Amino acid sequence: MAYDERVLVSFSVPSEPGNERLALARVADAVSGCGLSSDQVDRLKTAVAEATMNAIEHGNHNQPDVDVDVTVAALDDGVAVSIVDRGGAHAPAPDAGVELPDLDMKLAGLQTPRGWGLFLIQNMVDAMDVSIDGDLHTVRLVMRSQPTPRPRDPEGGPRAEQV
């Protein structure tokens, strides 16, 4: 493990659309006092919401009796949030050639208007790691407590490193 981690909270939400709001609220509460700026907390909340939405929809197929498990941990230099669904390898690896959202193409009708979730996650946090263990699919998000520059644009802005 690259970091000394201390679990702040673990919880589960049923896989029902909209429950990402429950997850982001609990994560925001858990990381208060961890040294993140309000901007970083907002970015982490958006990343957690998007990752939880993916877990609910694509991992657990909106089955309310299947939970999404969320763990928030304090690191030496920030926080890590792990979001676990039962979708196994449902999601392609972040570097597996997923089509990047292109607004020009979307406006021209050449891409669906959707498809922003992974893009937002990668632009909101400092690192994102995807792992699969059997049917468990885990997305781990890291936000470091030292100030990080804001992303400026899809071409030149910093993106989450993929561990």
Cβ proximity to another protein: between 92 and 157 the closer is: 157
**Does residue 53 touch another protein according to CB under 8 A?**
yes
Taking the least distance from each CB to another protein, the nearer of 6 and 152 is 152
Of 77, 106, 132, 148, the residue at the interface with another protein (CB under 8 A) is: 106
Sign of CA dihedral 66, 8, 77, 28: positive
Q: In what order do the strands lie in the sheet with 127-133?
A: 6-14, 67-75, 78-85, 136-144, 127-133, 161-162
**Does 20 participate in binding another protein (rule CB under 8 A)?**
yes
Pick 97 or 109: Cβ nearer another protein: 109
Strands 67-75 and 136-144: unpaired
The residue (of 120 and 132) whose beta carbon lies closer to another protein is 120
CA proximity to 83, closest of 109, 116, 45: 45
Judged by CB under 8 A, the number of residues near another protein is 32
Strand partners, 75: 78
Give yes or no for residue 28 binding another protein (CB under 8 A): no
Contact 92, 156 (CB under 8 A): no
The burial class, CB within 10 Å (0-12 / 13-18 / 19+), for 65 is exposed
Identify which range of 15-23, 28-36, 90-98, 131-139 contacts another protein by CB under 8 A.
15-23
Span near another protein by CB under 8 A; candidates 26-34, 72-80, 118-126, 138-146: 118-126
Amino acid present at 17: P
Tell me which residues touch another protein (CB under 8 A): 16-18, 20-21, 39, 42-43, 46, 49-50, 53, 101, 103, 106-107, 109, 112-117, 119-120, 123, 150-154, 157
